[in-house]
Amino acid sequence: MRISSPDKLLFPEAGVSKLDLATYYADVADAVLRGLRDRPVALNRFPDGLGGGKSFYTKAAPKGLPDWASTARVTFPSGRTGDEVCVTEAATVVWTVQMGALELHPWPVRAADTDHPDELRIDLDPQPGTDFAEAVAVAREAHALFEELGIRPFVKTSGGRGLHLLVRIEPRWTFVEARRAVIAFARELERRRPEQITTSWWKEERGERIFIDFNQMARDRMTVAAYSTRARPEAIVSMPVLWSDLGDVEPGDFTVKTVPALVAKNGDANAEIDDVAHSLDALLEMADRDEKDHGLGDLPYPPDFPKMPGEPKRVQPSKARHDDDGDSAGSAGSAEAADSTHQGSKS
């Protein structure tokens, strides 16, 4: 892979050049490929580096894709399709650096079947008044619940203030089902730790808690790849961590400069992630129980989604109180319903 302008600084404050970033990915190639291989990926590109002004989040494979590189076809929530870059080898990752990508955001699917996720993702988002330490406490609670279900979760820093939990699943369920499983999981955690955890989509209801962002499991929602950099001045990296080490780390410990030595010394904390693919049956049974016994159904989708079947009103509670329309589905998300093909939920 040829890198043009190798001395151009992609992270000026951290002093990380294009060649440095390409070298970083080459150094951690096995580890970074574990999270990216055969996955369609969206790129957050900064062609002039961080602070260079321009940046764009690209889903479609850019023009100039090398002839050895692959794409994978994905279907967006609108029902339209697109071809995204598919990571097949270390050179693909190095090529993203040539394209000025500072963040790699893979789909939770593999190219062979882009409608059925093979990765369940739990996004723990600290709300104002909480921080990384609170996210760690909630991650431990989540770890315990997964263990009760016989499921082995892996954890990584997001590179922001929160954490991502990853679970390898059999690619047998749709995005709608995988999101339903995440909602059931999050609700059970919320019942166990109501002071610490919220599943409220509405910020006004979240309080000083960790929000479990179940909509990150919706179709066309990405989570940054393990070992990808984040577009932050420190050249911070989203870093997998062993559960036994989680209490001893800070997100800022992991940068382009520190991570290669850590991986060389300790290996990849996600090394065993592909060993077992779990079933979603237990979580989907929890979802059924929530619905039958507690009347807890679906939760709102993000604003850019078409209205989804069974989705509740997409309006924040403080506004809904002033709304005369008692129909729980009718006017919901009417602005989004313009594209009412519902194809995002098909199959």
Residues that bind Mn ion (CB under 5 A): 123, 125, 162
One residue of 70, 127, 158, 270 binding ligand ATP per CB under 6 A: 158
193 binds ligand ATP (CB under 6 A): no
One residue of 118, 119, 123, 190 binding ligand ATP per CB under 6 A: 123
> Site size for ligand ATP, by CB under 6 A?
14
Contacting residues for 173 by C-beta, under 8 A, at least 6 apart: 116, 117, 181, 280, 284
Q: Least distance in Å: CB of 158 to Mn ion?
A: 5
Structure tokens at 60: 């479609």
CB atoms within 10 A of CB 68: 11
Residues 345 and 141: their CA atoms lie apart, in Å, by 31
CB 156 within 8 A of CB 226: yes
234 binds ligand ATP (CB under 6 A): no
When the beta carbons of 303 and 330 are compared against ligand ATP, the nearer one is: 303
Query: What is the four-CA torsion angle of 308, 301, 165, 162, rounded to 10 degrees?
Result: 170
Residues 46 and 345: their CA atoms lie apart, in Å, by 33
Q: Choose among Mn ion, ligand ATP, none what residue 223 binds, the Cβ cut-off being 5 to 8 Å by kind.
A: ligand ATP
Q: Choose among ligand ATP, Mn ion, none what residue 216 binds, the Cβ cut-off being 5 to 8 Å by kind.
A: ligand ATP
Residues 72 and 110: their CA atoms lie apart, in Å, by 9
139 binds ligand ATP (CB under 6 A): no
CB 239 within 8 A of CB 157: yes
In the chain, the N- to C-terminal Cα span, in Å, equals: 40
Q: Choose among Mn ion, ligand ATP, none what residue 139 binds, the Cβ cut-off being 5 to 8 Å by kind.
A: none
Q: Least distance in Å: CB of 40 to ligand ATP?
A: 13
Nearest to residue 161, comparing CAs of 238, 105, 106, 247? 238
161 binds ligand ATP (CB under 6 A): yes
When the beta carbons of 297 and 302 are compared against ligand ATP, the nearer one is: 302
- Interface positions, 301-320, toward ligand ATP (CB under 6 A): none
Range in contact with ligand ATP (rule: CB under 6 A) among 157-165, 192-200, 263-271, 272-280: 157-165
Range in contact with ligand ATP (rule: CB under 6 A) among 12-20, 186-194, 218-226, 312-320: 218-226
One residue of 127, 200, 223, 345 binding ligand ATP per CB under 6 A: 223
The enclosing H or E element of 292 equals helix 281-294
CB 264 within 8 A of CB 251: no
Binding positions for ligand ATP, rule: CB under 6 A: 44, 57, 105, 123, 125, 158, 160-162, 213, 216, 222-224
